[in-house]
């Protein structure tokens, strides 16, 4: 990696000031499948809670309904890891890399769906909180459990080992209930999956574990360990398609699979309730013999370079770049140095076909991002995975070209591709093919006997601001409003340096990041991780604010309040704010940290703006499925301007989902 720098004397123009708008922002599909209705039903944590527990009334009924939904949408496997620590390479087989693990429940829902016990129960926290219940993780012998609070007491909900236990009065028991009455650990309530049922090989471990809990002792209580920030928003530009394949072998069989995990053939598990309908258990019998794995997404974007439409797909360019109908189509009339930067960002993690069919993380992989096209003369290509904060040189392009840059972008959610040329050189054509890993349970599945589908276009796109805390302070500067920083000193993160911003005098401190958009912003989401001593001081303050007037006024958007019994040495504060006001194209997000007179700091930060896009253009939706091994398909043409379009897919009595594609003309 080399730091971003000014390459030309020309001023880089904000690319979208004259954007030709023919796009579909925030396209979603929702089907009438009873479990797997798709992102149109599960786009946010609140959507999931409404789907799972909306018809239930009492706190326990709502909690059990949420528990059953989580059992069908998550499963046990090595936790996903991403490029969260500068200088470290993710590898899901190495479980000791705590800082590399994904704790964003939104990323988990869209890209993964699997994790170890501690990870899964961290993801669950935002769901329980959206139900209006406090939540925490609890230590357990050889395991991590979780407890939620309702009706004045705590209750253990283990979605990893698929177990509940009950008091004599029928209420889900918590740790303290087991101490008072050890027989709770053997009390089931069919057909709800309960202890002593557990996955094969774990039965005795769970049974002996509750026996240890019954003896009392200290079992750590951990708060604020999971969060939700990454928006589940897909934005399609003119000439772009997004296809999801439910079959992981769609690219050519087991040796061609593309995924982001370290496991032969990709992430998979046989014992799970995922994909099996409503979870059921009667004694030792259950419908937990599932076969969960992953799906794939493929974004194909071929911008039209003959006019102004290509501007939809770029984040910046030099002011002397023009599109035209003759060669070179993307050119510079003045012959001076020029550049144009295309981009991609989605809620799905970029994956790849590993050379050894097992490990695309720390080993080489292909097929995650392939850039093909035609140049006139010599054109240089650079790739960024951190929104232009740093760049990797790919090399010189000349004539017809095809570059596979998977090893640069894998494990990220987006990329920027910068083309640079001068004099009479330029681009005649370019096509970007990005392949992602998709959580199987977010796929909008069809149901037999005809399936109702609702397509929506909410006219939004994501502006990601993901600070690269591995850079020097001056290189990070364009994302931070340093004039508003108080009582924090920055140090680049590394294997040895965990905290990016440290407090200087143990008083309240804050850091402010900027979100800037070419179009009006409508919403902001953000999360920041802080450090805290154990036990926590009496007075703490960890919160996020947003400002749309340059810092003159602030609105609270998220807060973390570590209770006195917290035994977790870091935590996440996160939140979401509606900022839709006329003409607002920039926002500031302030992270405030105060650890009651002790040192603390900001470890990580993730920020996202949601901006307006144009009224949706038309789209073509193609659903593919199989009946008796025979391929079937349905094509639905959505008219321009349609923000909601219901339609029916004529499925037969017995079906297997295959693919779904959304295309823009």
* C-beta of residue 260 within 8 angstroms of C-beta of residue 351: yes
Collect all residues with Cβ–Cβ distance below 8 Å to 393 and sequence separation of at least 6.
2, 380, 381, 382
- Give residue-wise pLDDT tens across range 333-351: 999 999 999 999 999 999 9
Distance CA 551, CA 558 (A): 17
* C-beta of residue 260 within 8 angstroms of C-beta of residue 556: no
Q: Which CATH superfamily is domain 461-612 in?
A: Galactose-binding domain-like (2.60.120.260)
Which residue, 388, 391, 295, is CA-closest to 348? 295
Which residue, 169, 162, 130, is CA-closest to 146? 162
Which residue, 280, 239, 230, is CA-closest to 442? 230
Q: Which CATH architecture has domain 2-25+238-250+295-447+650-663?
A: Sandwich (2.60)
**What is the token pair recorded at 610?**
């949601």
**What is the token pair recorded at 550?**
């340059």
SS (HEC) of 601-624: EEEEEEEEEEEECCCCCCEEEEEE
* Equal fold, 2-25+238-250+295-447+650-663 vs 461-612: yes
Q: Is 555 helix (H, G, I), strand (E, B) or coil?
A: strand
**Which residues are 607's β-sheet partners?**
465, 526
pTM, whole model, 2 decimals? 0.95
Task: Tell me what pLDDT residue 562 has.
Answer: 96
Low-confidence ranges of the chain (pLDDT < 50): 1-19
Domain boundaries, the chain: 2-25+238-250+295-447+650-663, 44-231, 461-612
Which residue, 393, 409, 391, 266, is CA-closest to 345? 409
* Class level of CATH domain 44-231: alpha beta
């Amino acid at each position: 990696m080399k730091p971003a720098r000014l390459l030309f004397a020309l001023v880089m123009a904000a690319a979208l000031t004259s954007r030709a708008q023919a796009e579909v922002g925030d396209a979603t599909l929702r089907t009438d499948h009873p479990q797997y209705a798709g992102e149109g039903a599960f786009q946010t944590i609140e959507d999931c809670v409404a789907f799972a527990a909306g018809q239930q009334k009492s706190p326990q009924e709502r909690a059990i309904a949420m528990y059953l939904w989580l059992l069908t949408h998550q499963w046990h496997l090595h936790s996903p890891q991403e490029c969260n620590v500068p200088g470290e390479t993710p590898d899901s087989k190495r479980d000791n890399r705590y800082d590399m693990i994904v704790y964003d429940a939104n990323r988990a829902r869209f890209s993964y769906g699997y994790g170890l016990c501690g990870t899964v129960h961290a993801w669950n926290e935002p769901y329980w909180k959206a139900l209006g219940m406090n939540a925490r993780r609890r230590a357990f012998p050889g395991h991590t459990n979780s407890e939620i609070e309702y009706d004045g007491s705590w209750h253990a909900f283990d979605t990893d080992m698929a177990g509940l236990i009950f008091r004599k009065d029928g209420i889900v028991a918590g740790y303290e209930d087991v101490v008072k009455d050890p027989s709770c650990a053997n009390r089931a309530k069919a057909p709800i999956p309960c202890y002593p049922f557990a996955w094969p090989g774990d039965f005795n471990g769970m049974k002996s574990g509750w026996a240890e809990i019954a003896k009392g002792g200290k079992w750590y209580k951990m708060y604020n360990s999971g969060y939700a920030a990454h928006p589940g928003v897909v934005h399609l530009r003119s000439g772009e398609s997004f296809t999801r394949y439910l079959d992981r072998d769609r690219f050519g069989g087991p040796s061609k699979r593309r995924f982001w995990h370290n496991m032969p053939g990709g992430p998979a598990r046989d014992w799970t309730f995922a994909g099996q309908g409503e979870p059921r258990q009667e004694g030792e019998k259950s419908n937990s013999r599932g076969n969960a794995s992953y799906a794939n997404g493929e974004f194909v974007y071929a911008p039209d370079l003959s006019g102004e439409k290509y501007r939809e797909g770029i984040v910046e360019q030099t002011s002397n770049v023009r599109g035209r109908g003759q060669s070179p189509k993307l050119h510079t009339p003045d012959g001076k140095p020029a550049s144009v930067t295309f981009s991609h960002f989605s809620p799905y993690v970029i994956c790849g076909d590993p050379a050894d069919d097992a490990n695309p993380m720390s080993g080489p992989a292909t097929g995650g991002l392939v850039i093909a096209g035609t140049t006139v003369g010599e054109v240089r290509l650079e790739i960024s995975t951190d929104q232009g904060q740093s760049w990797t040189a790919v090399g010189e392009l000349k004539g017809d070209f095809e570059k596979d840059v998977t090893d640069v972008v894998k494990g990220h959610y987006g990329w920027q591709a910068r083309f640079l040329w001068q004099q009479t050189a330029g681009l005649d054509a370019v096509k970007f093919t990005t392949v992602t890993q998709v959580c199987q349970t977010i796929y909008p599945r069809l149901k037999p006997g005809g399936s109702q589908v609702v397509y929506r276009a909410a006219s939004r796109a994501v502006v990601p601001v993901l600070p690269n805390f591995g850079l020097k302070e001056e290189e990070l500067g364009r994302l931070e409003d340093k004039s508003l920083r108080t009582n924090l000193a920055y140090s680049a993160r590394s294997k040895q340096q965990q905290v990016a911003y440290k407090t200087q005098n143990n008083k309240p401190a804050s850091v402010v990041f900027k979100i800037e958009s070419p179009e009006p912003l409508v919403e902001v989401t953000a999360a920041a991780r802080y450090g805290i001593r154990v036990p926590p001081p009496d007075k703490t303050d960890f919160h996020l604010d947003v400002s749309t007037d340059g810092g003159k006024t602030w609105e609270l958007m998220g807060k973390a309040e570590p209770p006195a019994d917290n035994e977790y040495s870091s935590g996440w504060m996160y939140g979401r704010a509606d900022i839709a006001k006329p003409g607002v194209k920039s926002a500031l997000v302030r992270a405030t940290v105060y650890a009651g007179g002790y040192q603390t700091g900001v470890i990580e930060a993730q920020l996202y703006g949601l901006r307006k896009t144009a009224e949706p253009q038309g789209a073509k939706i193609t659903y593919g499925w199989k009946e008796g091994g025979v391929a079937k398909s349905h094509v639905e043409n959505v008219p321009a301007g349609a923000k909601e379009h219901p339609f029916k897919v004529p499925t037969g009595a017995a079906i297997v989902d295959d693919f779904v594609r959304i295309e823009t003309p």
